[in-house]
Amino acid sequence: MYNAYEELFDRVKKPGRYTGGELNAVVKDWHKAKVRVALAFPDLYEVGLSHLGLRLLYYRINDQKEFLAERVYAPAEDMEAELRSADLPLFSLETRHSLAAFDLLGFSLQYELSYVNILNMMALAGIPLRRAERDGAGMGFPLVAGGGPGSFNPEPLADFFDFFLLGDGEDAILEILTIMAAGKEKGKSRAELKKDLQTVAGVYLPEFYRVEYLPSGAVAAVTPVNGAPPVVHKRVIPDLNRAYLPKKDLVPWLEIVHDRLALEIMRGCTRGCRFCQAGMVYRPVRERTGKLIEEHLAELLKNTGYEELSLTSLSSADHSEITELAGRLVACYTPEVSISLPSLRLDAFSPELAARLQGGKKSTLTVAPEAGTDRLRRVINKNLTEEEIIAMARTAFGGGWQRLKLYFMIGLPTEEQEDLDGLVTLARRVYEIGREFHGSRARVTVSVANFVPKAHTPFQWRPQAGIEEIREKQSFLRRRLAGAGRGLTFSWHEAELSFLEGVFARGDRRLSAVLAEAFRLGCRFDAWADKFRWDLWQAAFAATGLDPAFYTTRPRPREEVLPWSHLSAGVSPEFLWEENCRAEKGIPTPDCRDHYCTGCGVCTVFDLPFPPAKKAKAGGGKDA
Q: What is the pLDDT of residues 338-371, one digit of tens each?
A: 888 776 565 565 666 666 666 556 677 888 999 9
| Residue 489 one-letter amino acid | T
Q: CA 86 to CA 91: how far, in whole Å?
A: 13
> Using CA of residue 251, residue 253, residue 258, residue 259, what is the dihedral sign?
positive
When mean pLDDT is compared across 27-31, 206-210, 317-321, the lowest value belongs to 317-321
356 and 308 co-located in one domain: yes
User: Regarding beta strands 209-213 and 219-224, do their DSSP bridges make them parallel or antiparallel, or are they unpaired?
Assistant: antiparallel
Task: Report the pLDDT value the prediction gives residue 622, as an integer from 0 to 100.
Answer: 33
**Nearest residue to 159 (alpha-carbon basis) of 510, 501, 550, 507:** 510
Q: Of 227, 246, 280, which closes a domain? A: 227
Task: Report the pLDDT value the prediction gives residue 618, as an integer from 0 to 100.
Answer: 37
In a domain, 245, yes or no: no
Q: Of 206, 227, 248, which closes a domain? A: 227
Torsions phi, psi for 106 (to 5 deg): -110, 120
295 and 167 co-located in one domain: no
CATH code of residue 84 = 3.40.50.280
> Using CA of residue 340, residue 344, residue 347, residue 352, what is the dihedral sign?
positive
Residue 603 near residue 593, CB atoms below 8 Å: no
345 and 465 co-located in one domain: yes
The tally of domains found in the chain comes to: 2
Task: Report the pLDDT value the prediction gives residue 210, as an integer from 0 to 100.
Answer: 98
305 and 446 co-located in one domain: yes
Taking residues 522-530, what's their average pLDDT?
A: 95
Taking residues 246-257, what's their average pLDDT?
A: 94
For residue 105, the cross-strand partners are 38, 144
Taking residues 141-150, what's their average pLDDT?
A: 97
181 and 294 co-located in one domain: no
In a domain, 318, yes or no: yes
Residue 176 pLDDT greater than 70, yes or no: yes
In a domain, 413, yes or no: yes
SS3 502: helix
Query: Helices (DSSP H) in 198-311: which residue ranges?
Result: 277-281, 290-304
Residue 304 near residue 251, CB atoms below 8 Å: yes
SS3 280: helix
Q: What is the pLDDT of residues 442-454, one digit of tens each?
A: 999 999 999 999 9
Q: What is the pLDDT of residues 469-502, one digit of tens each?
A: 999 999 999 999 987 788 999 999 999 999 999 9
Residue ranges with strand state E in 121-193: 143-147, 163-165
378 and 438 co-located in one domain: yes
In a domain, 188, yes or no: yes
Taking residues 389-400, what's their average pLDDT?
A: 90
Taking residues 264-277, what's their average pLDDT?
A: 95
6 and 141 co-located in one domain: yes
265 and 221 co-located in one domain: no
> Using CA of residue 519, residue 525, residue 530, residue 534, what is the dihedral sign?
positive
SS3 10: coil
Task: Report the pLDDT value the prediction gives residue 624, as an integer from 0 to 100.
Answer: 32
In a domain, 530, yes or no: no
Q: Which domain holds residue 500?
A: 260-510+546-620
Q: Of 202, 227, 252, which closes a domain? A: 227
For residue 492, the cross-strand partners are 448
223 and 266 co-located in one domain: no
Task: Report the pLDDT value the prediction gives residue 343, as an integer from 0 to 100.
Answer: 62
Question: N- to C-terminal Cα distance for the chain?
Answer: 55
In a domain, 520, yes or no: no
Q: CA 458 to CA 449: how far, in whole Å?
A: 19
Q: How many residues does the chain have?
A: 624
301 and 207 co-located in one domain: no
Task: Report the pLDDT value the prediction gives residue 360, as an integer from 0 to 100.
Answer: 54
In a domain, 216, yes or no: yes
In a domain, 516, yes or no: no
Q: CA 140 to CA 131: how far, in whole Å?
A: 12
Task: Report the pLDDT value the prediction gives residue 617, as an integer from 0 to 100.
Answer: 44
Q: Average per-residue pLDDT in the chain?
A: 93
266 and 119 co-located in one domain: no
Q: What is the pLDDT of residues 192-239, one digit of tens each?
A: 999 999 999 999 999 999 999 999 999 999 999 999 999 999 999 999
CATH code of residue 267 = 3.80.30.20
Taking residues 125-145, what's their average pLDDT?
A: 91
164 and 95 co-located in one domain: yes
